[in-house]
């Protein structure tokens, strides 16, 4: 019996808990239970990759351990009588088991909600929501935001269950759905290409890009698609005329362009403003091209919506409230951009804010184009319903409830 621990709440089914309870009730008259402090130890709950501090339900945070002393009475020795567990300890254990059996939602609510993001000003609504504590206001009190290098790594993490929500999207999400994943787009925060193609100082026109190296964040991501579009508009074949290198985020790509490692890349404010200061040349403005393109979306999985619909709605509430605060409070918006972009130049921050104020929609409603644009670009010949890729019902519910209009009052 020594070194035997009664573990509670560590990935157990109801059947296992009932078995533990039965065994516990059998043993309660023969063993003594003492409590051992566990500190900040975290335990896996039911979902892969999700940790929760189960013992915050105990005051103090403890778990029962069956003590080797006193032990079972030895044969012929009446000096070691059994010491039954006390009534108060029984109540604690029984109460804990009842919570697991009949109120599992209470424990699940304590799991961290993980959101995947990227380093880009397209994420300003998320930044504003966190800075303004709007997620907490609408019930998301345990949000963990994890930054990735691009949309494809975020989507892989979403499919693998390492995150539950992605604040980016694009072609990677639609492509994953085509391959059988249950990824789904639930909102859109940027519906145009917010980029400008910047090139080296010595490049005067598009023809001089032939044979040159261009930088993108990830091959297959939304920036990659935008680069292909820009090159075609300039009369170049993106598959034959240039070499596209997977380099990383905007800061890394700007540094690569400035050093001559690559000869072109797509930038957006504030990085495009820095490029201008460095004397790099603007070759093509995608913002002014007029093309409507869902460059940034909020995505999740259909299975997560089914099991945690209210959680997803509350996340959207926080995001929409953050977006509204960003749009209506210039000082707050500039502060959010400066903190997250690590930019201190007031002029650049003001210009950056003005740019994104024109780009971000008032309300991030998704639509058919969140799927059809990508399906056309991927040349998917099979007829597909856009609702297989986009679920507008959550934003529609927020509109019916009056929430979308209330955040601007």
28-86 pLDDT, tens digit each? 333 333 323 333 333 333 333 333 333 333 333 333 333 333 333 333 444 445 455 55
pLDDT digits (tens, 9 = 90+) for 249-275: 889 999 999 999 999 999 988 899 999
Q: Reply yes or no on whether the pLDDT at 312 is more than 60.
A: yes
pLDDT value for 383:
83
- Beta strands 264-267 and 196-199: pairing type? antiparallel
* CATH topology (fold) of 113-193+292-406: D-Maltodextrin-Binding Protein; domain 2 (3.40.190)
What is the rounded distance in angstroms from the CA atom of residue 69 to the CA atom of residue 127?
A: 55
The pLDDT value recorded for residue 110 is 56
Report the alpha-carbon distance of residue 28 to residue 25 in Å, rounded: 5
| Residue owning tokens 């509204």 | 324
Q: Is the pLDDT of residue 308 over 50?
A: yes
Q: Is the dihedral of CA 303, 306, 307, 311 positive or negative?
A: positive
- pLDDT beyond 90 at 130: yes
In 3-state terms, what secondary structure has residue 16?
A: helix
State how far the Cα of 402 lies from the Cα of 270, in Å rounded to an integer. Answer: 35
pLDDT at 104: 53
CA dist 151 and 219 (Å) reads 10
pLDDT, average across residues 320-342: 97
Cα dist. 58→37, 95, 299 in Å? 11, 10, 36
pLDDT digits (tens, 9 = 90+) for 149-207: 888 899 999 999 999 999 987 788 888 999 999 999 999 999 988 899 999 999 999 99
Question: Cβ contacts of residue 292 below 8 Å, gap of 6+?
Answer: 191, 192, 369, 373
Is it the case that residue 146 has pLDDT exceeding 50? yes
Is the predicted pLDDT of residue 316 greater than 90, yes or no?
yes
Residue 261 CB burial class (10 angstroms; 0-12, 13-18, ≥19)? middle
Provide the pairing of β-strand 264-267 with 213-216.
parallel
Residue tagged 């980029």 (tokens) = 195
CA 40 vs CA 37, 62, 64, 144, 263: distances in Å: 9, 11, 16, 18, 50
If you average pLDDT over every residue of the chain, what do you get?
79
DSSP label at residue 74 = P
Percent of the chain at pLDDT > 70 equals 73
d(CA 278, CA 394): 44
Residues 342, 286, 221, 333, CA torsion sign: positive
Question: Angle at Cα 234 formed by Cα 252 and Cα 209, nearest 5°?
Answer: 55
| Residue 361 DSSP SS3 | coil
Crossing angle between the packed helical segments 171-178 and 369-377, to the nearest 10 degrees:
80
pTM higher than the cut 0.85: no
CATH code 3.40.190.10 for 196-287:
yes
Task: Categorize the per-residue pLDDT at 90 as very low, low, confident or very high, splitting at 50, 70 and 90.
Answer: low
Range(s) of the chain covered by CATH 3.40.190.10: 113-193+292-406, 196-287
């Amino acid at each position: 019996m020594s070194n035997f621990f009664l573990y509670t709440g560590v990935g157990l089914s109801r059947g296992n808990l009932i078995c533990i309870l039965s065994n516990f009730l059998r043993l309660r008259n023969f063993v003594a239970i003492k409590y051992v402090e566990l500190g900040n130890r975290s335990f896996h709950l039911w979902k892969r990759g999700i940790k929760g501090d189960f013992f915050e339900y105990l005051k103090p945070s403890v778990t029962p351990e069956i003590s080797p002393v006193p032990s079972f009475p030895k044969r012929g020795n009446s000096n070691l009588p059994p010491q039954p567990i006390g009534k108060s300890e029984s109540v604690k254990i029984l109460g804990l088991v009842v919570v697991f059996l009949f109120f599992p939602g209470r424990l699940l609510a304590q799991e961290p909600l993980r959101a995947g993001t990227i380093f880009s000003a397209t994420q300003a609504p998320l930044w504003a929501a966190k800075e303004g504590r709007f997620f907490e206001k609408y019930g998301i009190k345990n949000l963990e935001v994890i930054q990735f290098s691009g949309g494809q790594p975020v989507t892989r993490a979403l499919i693998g269950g390492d995150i539950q929500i992605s604040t980016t999207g694009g072609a990677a999400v639609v492509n994953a759905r085509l391959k059988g994943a249950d990824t789904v787009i639930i909102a859109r925060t940027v519906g145009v290409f917010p980029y400008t193609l910047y090139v080296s100082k010595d490049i005067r026109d598009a023809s001089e890009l032939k044979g040159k190296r261009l930088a993108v964040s990830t091959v297959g991501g939304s920036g990659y698609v935008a680069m292909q579009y820009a090159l075609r508009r300039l009369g170049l074949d993106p598959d034959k005329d240039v070499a596209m290198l997977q380099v990383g985020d905007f800061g890394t790509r700007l540094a690569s362009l400035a050093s001559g490692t690559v000869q072109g890349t797509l930038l957006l404010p504030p990085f495009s403003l820095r490029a201008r200061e460095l004397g790099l040349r603007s070759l093509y403005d995608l913002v002014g091209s007029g093309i409507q393109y869902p460059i940034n979306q909020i995505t999740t999985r259909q299975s997560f919506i089914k099991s945690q619909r209210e959680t997803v709605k509350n996340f959207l509430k926080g995001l929409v409230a953050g977006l509204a605060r960003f749009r209506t409070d210039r000082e707050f918006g500039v502060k959010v951009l400066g903190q997250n972009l690590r930019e201190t130049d007031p002029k650049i921050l003001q210009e950056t804010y003005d740019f994104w104020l024109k780009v971000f929609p008032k309300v991030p409603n998704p639509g058919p184009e969140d799927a059809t644009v990508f399906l056309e670009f991927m040349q998917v010949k099979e007829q597909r319903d856009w609702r297989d890729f986009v679920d507008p019902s959550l934003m529609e519910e927020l509109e019916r409830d009056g929430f979308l209009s209330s955040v601007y009052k």
